[in-house]
Structure 1
Amino acid sequence: MAVAAERDDDLSASLGHLPEWRLEDLYAGPDAPALKADMDKAEAAAAQFESAHAGKIATLDGAALGGAVAEYERIDEVLSRVASYAQLVHSGDMSDPEVGRFYQSVIERVTDISTRLLFFTLELNRIEEADLAEKLKAPELARYAAWLRDLRVFRDHQLSDELEKLLHEKEVAGRAAWNRLFDETLAGMRFPFKGKELTVTQILEKLTSRKTEERREAAKSLGATLRGQGRLFALVTNTLAKEKEIEDRWRRYPAPVSARNRANQIEDEVVAALTETVRAHYPLLSHRYYALKAKWFGVDKLDYWDRNAPLPNDADRLIPWTEARETVLTAYAGFDARMADIGRRFFDEGWIDAPARAGKASGAFAHPVVPSAHPYILLNYQGRARDVMTLAHELGHGVHQVLAGAQGHLQSGTPLTLAETASVFGEMLTFQAMLKGQTDPAKRKAMLASKVEDMLNTVVRQIAFHFFETRVHAARREGELTPEKISDIWMDIQRESLGPALRFDDDYRYYWAYIPHFIHSPFYVYAYAFGDCLVNSLYAVYREAETGFAERYLDMLKAGGTLRHKELLAPFGLNAADPDFWAKGLSMIAGMIDELEAME
């Protein structure tokens, strides 16, 4: 079989020039003297920091401790810049062994250097609350109050210094190594399709083809090829789940999801309210919509390869890059010119890598890098309407990261739940602007159906992923899981969440294997549903607000990690701790399905 070209010539001509990011803003190249110099300086500074402060943190007064935190922040920001550069280079081409070697070498050295700094956070967490409160009276330390608050969330789960150091140093040969194996395996896989061999990104794109036979061939090729690597993917899943179980047990976390909830600064009961409310709404949302879509396709049941298919009367034209850019920026400008101005920099200054290339990481992400630099966005743009929504989503992350950068390296990062709020809000702005400009009833119906499907993918599908992870991690505690057992759990969850209107076959059983979040960030996925439901409620406030909403929204983004969800949502009159809050968010999706049913 011939290997597919990196980009089909016809597709390339239709999409126009797709930008590639300019990583030279960070370093001139992997062999750049500045890269080595930064690591050398960070290593010397970390050694000096350890020599000056190890064992003495509790004795420092507030001003001196504030100075120590500032120095720690400076060193850590350099290390984060170096590690981010290596990650971005690797994401651009995971198939090149030399790139893989560079990435691993950098991460190993960064880990070695950061080990010298580990004592600092451990000693900070051993300071008694009353003593810390006294030290926080000094303005030099008070500016880092939010970082200290979030650091101390993990205080009760902290191990001895020696164990923490061991776990930190083993990361590069443990979880990080398994992550890399997963990434490089998936990036190197090729999926047979019409006499060619496609990347995972390319084969997934075929699932939205207008042609039923193409969707079917792509779906079965994806499943069969994943099954061929099933033992490897099951080994990665088993190993990482067992590693997590061991560490969770030592740290005394009550449930596999608890560590993620602590990192997200969100209570276990709030996450439980979200996930159970979504599950209770499966019949009203996904079950009802897919039954409606089956009716549109003239069948009793939809084959799974038709789940995201364009509607029969949807032209589903390819959207050139320049049009995608203007669509998103115009929508952002319609909300607030400042958002569009920040977003425009990503396009004009080389912060986006858009083409789908062989070896490139699949999917999309926005990487914040560090506040002293700027974020980067990775896409695999192929001209579909969903790709435009992905651009709007990742640009929302990027704008958020730029605005939060003023909080500094240690306090600019936000919990995943709130980070997804900014991205999903960007999607909603773009969709609503596009819908408002569409007067053709058939095209409006297609747009509305596409948005419902995106929201179901963001809410129902991601919560189903959450329950899949929950069951896999629980079952792993009883012993290693075979590929077939993992697939059984996957199928049970999919049937429950997607409903009786979907028909599956054995080739669908291994679709769990390509989902990177299960590997990279266990229990990340509920953050998408959190963000979507929150944005639905937030957008309802926006539509009813007369003035001042945009200012409050931008203030929320600028806060970065300094405020928690209760404080951030209070200005909008929203409370995520209220179970009814989630039902209200889901009602927007139900309302869109109502509108589609009324069109019949």
Structure 2
Amino acid sequence: MQLSHARSASRDTAGRPQAAGVPGTLPEWDLSDLYASSADPALETDLARAEADAKAFHAALAGRLPGISGDDLAEAIRRYEAIEEVLGRVMSFASLSFATDAQDPANGRFLQTMQERVTAISSNLLFFTLELNKLEEADLEAKLRSPALERFRPFLRDLRVFRPHQLSDEVERLLHEKEVTGRAAWNRLFDETVAAMEVKVGGEVLNVSGALNKLSDPDRAVRQAAAKGVSAAFGEKARLFTLITNTLAKDKEIVDGWRKYPRPGSSRNRANMVEDEVVDALVTAVIESFPSLSHRYYAMKARWLGLPKLQHWDRNAPLPDEDSSDIPWDAARDRVLSAYSGFSPELGRIGREFFEKPWIDAVLRPGKASGAFAHPTVPSAHPYLLLNYHGKARDVMTLAHELGHGVHQVLASGHGYLMSGTPLTLAETASVFGEMLTFRAVLDAETDPKRRRALLAGKVEDMLNTVVRQIAFYRFETLLHDARRKGELSREEIGALWMQVQTESLGPAFEFTPDYEIYWSYIPHFVHTPFYVYAYAFGDCLVNALYGVFQEGSVPDFQNKYMDLLRAGGTLRHKELLAPFGLDASDPAFWHKGLNVISGFIDELERADG
């Protein structure tokens, strides 16, 4: 199966609320380490060289893999990797340029043009992964006696996971070449539509990111106005978002049917190198824990806010004792780096490099991608982080989260373009662990009981957003894709599924107004990366279990073993990575171990509340 040249950015969800206010000077990234601009001569030179190399690669090797030696196959993989990395560099630059300002038509045209050119070039490479998967096991094992080829065993292992779902060469090429006018085009339409939207909140006109940030304003009237504004803005576009959702769900159904995936989430699980049964165990454990987690916590929050029922615009309301003062960027940086360095000097050193060099874009501006993400780009360059920094405590946690991704990507880059990428289920490990390190450092330094309670409650809310909310998203996607197989869904039918899972997951403390039915439409993951969202819950529960082992002190040399886990990149599976810590994600008890950490925090809040 072909690789994605626009390496997956680890996107934060819109579930991470951030309040308004822009403190101090914020950093902007400089993409010139990739290319100086879209007119950079080096860009055209790289594309021309990649095209020539890809054609030569096809001419030399197409149809000949069974007859070559292990050493020659290793050399072929190195050639393939070198071409892929050039194409990955081009697409990283194009996608990051688009994320910088999606409202600029030139950025949209540039991204589309690069997608088309890269797709055309990579069509010459498509045969290679298809033919690798056609090799018989005995033949491949014989070739793997070559030490040079043995290095690429993890790449071949992960590639062959898709062997049962591979189609004929002609169909694979058709799907590959039509991607630019299929899913990718619908993704672009969604992004450009959301980037251009204006949301009226009281007397202000905001972009979507700014309006969503108002949902954590201390003033309930402001939160309500923001909620109504978001509902109205997305309601006006409901027909378009309903069409996009129906089209992409049907497109996935068709492709999954041809590839014989047993259910809609199976292809994502294969890409994550995790078994369907492991994901089922996670989802079941979280759903069973809704009453003891979210239902219990939000009942407390309603009491704290003095409300008989919470509305959806109260979910991220700050608590009465919460410190709502602005946190300058430099202070946020110092908090995160201090926590990282306290755990591991190497972790802190790599993290500091992101601040010393222009690798972060935190400025608020029209047209910029909402939320936050870390983009690995290519091993010959470095990752970039995108945030929308509003100066609140949760923004500091978002910074800690994305920096974790960035450090992880740096540590794994030594494995090269084909094997440095980490499956989504493990990609959240360093980010959530970085958040936990930062949170514990801040909490341990706080002595005031009321502010300590507010910090703890804020952490619980972040964990509920990461675990309960994301599993609710996953359940929504599952219900939607299953329903779409029976026919096109109306806006009302999609809204009903959304309200069902929100009611189940958030519990009786909430009273949902009808306008909340449209809120499914602003979640980019449903469009860009179907069934991605459970990876957040996977990562959070995994880190909770991992951090518990760290606190217990039961694993000698924990820090070095943790750094080795990050350095492994995509070369090891979750069983191998967790074994040194005595953990096993295939054991259902593992997930309850992680969920019990959240439950324990809620227990502590209940004791303080009593």
Please give the TM-score of this superposition, normalised by the length of structure 1.
0.97
What is the CA distance between 1:99 and its match in structure 2? 1.1
Match in the other structure for 2:544? 536
Match in the other structure for 1:352? 360
- Match 2:500 to one of 471, 492, 496: 492
Paired residue secondary structure (1:301)? coil
Distance in 2 (alpha carbons) for counterparts of 1:114 and 1:377: 27
- Match 2:350 to one of 313, 337, 342: 342
Paired residue secondary structure (2:365)? coil
- Match 2:582 to one of 551, 570, 573: 573
What is the CA distance between 1:139 and its match in structure 2? 1.2
Match in the other structure for 2:306? 298
What is the CA distance between 1:11 and its match in structure 2? 3.6
- Match 2:82 to one of 74, 92, 95: 74
Match in the other structure for 1:268? 276
Distance in 2 (alpha carbons) for counterparts of 1:85 and 1:408: 18
Is 2:291 the counterpart of 1:283?
yes
Letter in 2 for 1:173: T
Letter in 1 for 2:566: L
Distance in 2 (alpha carbons) for counterparts of 1:44 and 1:342: 37
Q: Which piece of structure 1 moves more, 313-322 or 492-501? A: 313-322
What is the CA distance between 1:507 and its match in structure 2? 1.5
Distance in 2 (alpha carbons) for counterparts of 1:57 and 1:442: 67
String of CA shifts for 1:296-354, please: whole Å, max 9, x gaps.
Answer: 11122111111111101223111110000001000001100101110111111100000
Match in the other structure for 1:4? none
Is 2:605 the counterpart of 1:596?
yes
Match in the other structure for 1:252? 260
Is 2:250 the counterpart of 1:242?
yes
String of CA shifts for 1:41-89, please: whole Å, max 9, x gaps.
Answer: 0000001000100111111110000000000000000000011000000
Match in the other structure for 2:111? 103
Is 2:559 the counterpart of 1:550?
yes
- Match 2:162 to one of 154, 161, 171: 154
Distance in 1 (alpha carbons) for counterparts of 2:208 and 2:348: 32
Match in the other structure for 1:559? 568
Match in the other structure for 1:425? 433
What is the CA distance between 1:196 and its match in structure 2? 2.1
Match in the other structure for 2:143? 135
Letter in 2 for 1:573: G
User: Is contact 1:80–1:370 with CA below 8 Å preserved after alignment?
Assistant: yes
Paired residue secondary structure (1:192)? strand
- State how 1:10-159 maps to structure 2 within 5 Å: 11-12=21-22, 15-159=23-167
- Match 1:412 to one of 420, 428, 441: 420
Paired residue secondary structure (1:380)? coil
Distance in 2 (alpha carbons) for counterparts of 1:318 and 1:184: 31
- Match 1:584 to one of 574, 578, 593: 593
Distance in 2 (alpha carbons) for counterparts of 1:58 and 1:423: 42
Distance in 2 (alpha carbons) for counterparts of 1:187 and 1:426: 30
Distance in 2 (alpha carbons) for counterparts of 1:195 and 1:540: 48
Letter in 1 for 2:495: S
What is the CA distance between 1:447 and its match in structure 2? 0.3
- Match 1:400 to one of 398, 408, 423: 408
String of CA shifts for 1:528-548, please: whole Å, max 9, x gaps.
Answer: 000000000000011122641
String of CA shifts for 1:446-497, please: whole Å, max 9, x gaps.
Answer: 0000000000000000000000000000000000001111000000010000
Paired residue secondary structure (2:380)? coil
User: Is contact 1:201–1:356 with CA below 8 Å preserved after alignment?
Assistant: no
Match in the other structure for 1:326? 334
- Match 1:507 to one of 493, 504, 515: 515
String of CA shifts for 1:86-138, please: whole Å, max 9, x gaps.
Answer: 00000000001111111110111011000100000000000000110000010
Letter in 2 for 1:194: G
User: Is contact 1:201–1:362 with CA below 8 Å preserved after alignment?
Assistant: yes
Distance in 2 (alpha carbons) for counterparts of 1:392 and 1:483: 37
Letter in 2 for 1:589: I
Distance in 1 (alpha carbons) for counterparts of 2:398 and 2:175: 36
Is 2:442 the counterpart of 1:434?
yes
**What runs of 5+ residues in structure 1 fail to find an aligned partner?**
1-9
Match in the other structure for 2:457? 449
Distance in 2 (alpha carbons) for counterparts of 1:387 and 1:503: 28
Letter in 2 for 1:179: N
String of CA shifts for 1:195-224, please: whole Å, max 9, x gaps.
Answer: 221011100110111111111100111112
User: Is contact 1:226–1:510 with CA below 8 Å preserved after alignment?
Assistant: yes
Is 2:246 the counterpart of 1:223?
no
Letter in 2 for 1:104: Q
- State how 1:368-407 maps to structure 2 within 5 Å: 368-407=376-415
Distance in 1 (alpha carbons) for counterparts of 2:364 and 2:479: 34
Match in the other structure for 2:5? none
What is the CA distance between 1:194 and its match in structure 2? 2.5
Is 2:472 the counterpart of 1:464?
yes
Match in the other structure for 2:14? none
Match in the other structure for 1:519? 527
Distance in 2 (alpha carbons) for counterparts of 1:296 and 1:433: 25
Distance in 1 (alpha carbons) for counterparts of 2:465 and 2:415: 33
Paired residue secondary structure (1:504)? coil
User: Is contact 1:417–1:528 with CA below 8 Å preserved after alignment?
Assistant: yes
Match in the other structure for 2:483? 475
What is the CA distance between 1:590 and its match in structure 2? 0.5
Distance in 2 (alpha carbons) for counterparts of 1:484 and 1:302: 23
What is the CA distance between 1:384 and its match in structure 2? 1.2
User: Is contact 1:392–1:430 with CA below 8 Å preserved after alignment?
Assistant: yes
Letter in 1 for 2:579: A
Please give the TM-score of this superposition, normalised by the length of structure 2.
0.96
Paired residue secondary structure (1:362)? coil
Distance in 1 (alpha carbons) for counterparts of 2:353 and 2:39: 27
What is the CA distance between 1:367 and its match in structure 2? 0.3
User: Is contact 1:91–1:360 with CA below 8 Å preserved after alignment?
Assistant: yes
- State how 1:147-226 maps to structure 2 within 5 Å: 147-226=155-234
Letter in 1 for 2:385: I
How many residues matched? 589
Runs of 4+ in 1 over 6 A off after TM superposition: none
User: Is contact 1:90–1:100 with CA below 8 Å preserved after alignment?
Assistant: yes
Distance in 2 (alpha carbons) for counterparts of 1:554 and 1:314: 34
